[in-house]
Chain A
């Protein structure tokens, strides 16, 4: 599947995956690729401290959108912002003429009680805000760095859960609107990210089925992150060249890991009939804008 075409197909792209699989890096690469396709792109960070802005060599994101990569000839701008449940709640209350009590609601802990009475309320407020951004035409594409896998299911299920729990009122309307967004493939898709390892692949398959069956979202391609690029000549015997043992051991390690990665990729394909995008493992402990560009180019 062509990434540019995919990124043009729906305005909201939600990126989800288990902790440690490189979800934020993939979010950045997708955003960059979207911008390269000429789309104005807004990245929304939901959990804070994800390190997303550092990948673009920029200071931490705030509630107000800031530029991560400026627009250039034929390339759209990449902007980024945060969106926390507290932000979303404040806005919601203000929009409903309750600005004066909103501070007290949060400070008194009453909000905890509220959130508990109808679980998912925080998530629905955040998703409601995403929907509002989508409707307000703030960017051509919104790329959402979603909570880690287990949370992602709860997060995306919140709309359906709330429709049952809350039968009337603005939250009900909000939940219905959000569900409409999530289940419309022309407006929203979910990109799942995994590593080519057994446990992350298992979790990804479970998450994928849960999201399709229980939420009804449309799933985009699966991103398999961190595949060791192929190197020719790893079977050569270094004989008594300097550091021969190290050369041999490093080659054996890479062959073993590569073989396992291929097995996991095949297993994923067998268990989940979705197109896969493969991203290379970068032998760098610090990733920056150049690496984001490299990964963006490797998508698809």
Chain B
């Protein structure tokens, strides 16, 4: 069985995954911090950090290059906040035959839309950034905080989805039918084009066709690159850390994530459960509730009722966690208690680390 310590000491890539609002960004930052404290050069790639955490990490604004966070540790801690559009632009520049081709693409309205808004673009560019940082040799560990997605693990599918998209089947169908199926394709394509025109209007369709025209010749470069990103994401040495909170709905979602990872032959390396209510001692809910009932009207009424509420909560959360822990076996499960204060600076990150390591 691996432990979180082994992950931050030995792995080169850790990907934090889970639904929104469970503390993924915080967990990613804590893992990178801990690696730095253990002497490694670590970088955390965040997607959308809360403002105060961003300030803590020196990420005042979007910066697509890592900035270093100074602190009292033997290793290095770096952070960057993913700028999807800039990452995409850099990719275009790197793959374009010349500056003119890149400019043509940058000027296209359709490109401006996809570089910011195509579903999966953010996920794909996170993978792209991961690849770039990993290959740079500047870091021993890259920790990635995945975007909150509506659909579990869009992150994993993103490279394939993007290349599928850039293969511009539609463009081919519309503009370059093969000889053998010329008539068939044309008839089918014009029906599709008509349908699309009906939905989005002619302008948008034309922008799209212009884009694919300008993109001509760059597909192979993109495909190769996407294949390398995909290989990195599915490398057995890449560790997936599932982040959850002990509420019924997020546990259900986390269970689904775990299943999806398993289907992709990517076992969960560790489960981090945030915001676990403290139990305060060892007692269970029912006994505490009995005592509280007996104390009604006495000076201890408030105190016993309060303790009973927390222990009842802890019992319920425990039930959820048992199921989830069973599901991700043999991955270790680390619990971070719901703290009496919010988390947003290096001291509180270190406090969380003290519960994980």
Contact = CB atoms under 8 A, between A and B. Distances in A.
Interface of A: 18-21, 24, 47-51, 54, 92-93, 96, 98, 101-102, 104-105, 108-110, 112-121, 147-148, 150-151, 154, 165-172, 197-199, 202-203, 231-234, 236, 238, 241, 243, 245-254, 256-257, 260, 283-287
B247 to A, nearest CB: 7
A121 B117 contact: no
Contacts, number: 220
Interface in B180-204: 188, 191-192, 194-204
Interface string B114-125: 101111000000
19 contacts: A92-B199, A96-B198, A101-B191, A102-B195, A105-B196, A110-B192, A115-B119, A121-B200, A168-B201, A169-B197, A169-B201, A198-B342, A236-B300, A247-B304, A249-B278, A250-B278, A251-B302, A253-B278, A284-B312
B273 to A, nearest CB: 12
B316 A286 contact: yes
B198 A247 contact: no
Contacts of A120: 117
B19 interface: yes
A247 B305 CA distance: 9
Contacts of B317: 285
Nearest to B247: A285
Interface string B79-123: 000000000000000000000000000000110011011110000
Contacts of B300: 233, 236, 238, 241, 247
Given A116-B208, A199-B342, A285-B247, A121 B307 contact: no
B110 A20 contact: no
A246 B169 contact: no
Contacts of B48: 150
A51 B199 contact: no
Interface stretch (B70-78, B132-140, B248-256): B248-256
Interface centre among A19, A51, A285 (most CB of B within 10 A): A285
Given A148-B20, A243-B307, A245-B281, A113 B312 contact: no
B50 interface: yes
Contacts of A260: 340-342
A254 B306 contact: yes
A249 B280 contact: yes
A234 B306 contact: yes
Contact of B207 (A117, A199, A254): A117
Contacts of B301: 232-233
A172 B195 contact: no
A284 B281 contact: no
Given A115-B119, A117-B207, A256-B341, A199 B281 contact: no
B201 A166 contact: yes
A238 B252 CA distance: 39
Interface centre among A96, A115, A248, A287 (most CB of B within 10 A): A115
Given A19-B20, A24-B249, A284-B312, A101 B199 contact: no
A271 B107 CA distance: 40
Given A119-B113, A246-B283, A19 B303 contact: no
Interface in B148-206: 148, 150, 161, 164-165, 168-170, 173, 188, 191-192, 194-205
A113 B302 contact: no
Nearest to B171: A113
